[in-house]
Amino acid sequence: MAENAAEEEIRMGAQCCFERIEKKYPLTPEQYEQIKAGMKNYVKADRYSNYTISNLYYDTDDYDLIRTSLEKPVYKEKLRMRAYGTPGDQDQVFIELKKKYEGVVYKRRIILDADTAARYIHHGERPENLGQIGREIDYFMSSYQPSAKVMIAYDREAWQGLDNPDLRVTFDTNLRWRDDHLDLCAGDHGLPILPPEQKQILMELKIPGAAPLWLARLLSETGAFSSSFSKYGAWYQNIILKQSGQTIRHDINIHHINSAARRDFALIA
């Protein structure tokens, strides 16, 4: 099923660049059930509505990218490698540059088989014909010199709008991580990111513009409030910082971030 989900993502999302608004809502099990019941007349299940997503996140040795992101700057970016389920060497994976500027998410990605993707990102063996997005990934790699830091996986339930297929509502559970065997082909096993007693479901809304009225009312009625929750950020704060006894730094170079934003959006334009 996960392979089918990946094939569907490739077919529908073979678009390699898009922009949208993404909102995240930590839900209790009760809120989850209320929202599911309240949206049933407005959404339908994705063709492959239940699957597992695995990601490798890349960062500098000092975790500069996630530290910057947690400071909530006007512009932030990250690099990840994503698979649906556990891929074989020849199965498709996504290498994604995800940028956020003034609340809007811009995703730039290329699709490669897992073996080629790993040789490219981990060993610098660049395949041909990666185009503009490949050049952006190359620039990111040369600028930050990142390496794989963690595998984060979760189980996803996905829905899309009946009237507006661009509206997507997803629910993620069983967030887990490992920092060894950093290979998507090695499986999606890992330790919990959140404490077991924190029975939290992460809902994400992905919309091209404003939320429809029925959804805004449903969120208000159920007391669901958006959060800046980041899976990679949660891992960094709950695992890395707690283990080291560190705190988040406050010396982010905003001038550098704004310069990076101008540079990247000039490339996109």
The pTM score is 0.85
Averaged pLDDT, 80-106: 94
Closest among 160, 252, 137 to 212, alpha carbons compared = 160
Domains and CATH numbers, the chain: 2-268 (3.20.100.30)
* Cβ-Cβ contacts under 8 Å for 139 (sequence gap 6 or more): none
pLDDT tens-digit readout, 94-123: 999 999 998 899 999 999 999 999 999 999
**The pLDDT value given to residue 243:** 84
pLDDT tens-digit readout, 13-55: 444 777 889 999 999 999 999 999 999 999 999 887 899 999 9
**The pLDDT value given to residue 251:** 37
Question: Pairing relation of β-strands 92-101 and 75-84?
Answer: antiparallel
| The one-letter amino acid at 146 | P
Burial 228-267 (b: 16+ CB within 10 A, else e): eebbbbbbbbbeebeeeeeeeeeebeeeebeebbeebeee
**The pLDDT value given to residue 216:** 96
d(CA 251, CA 73): 12
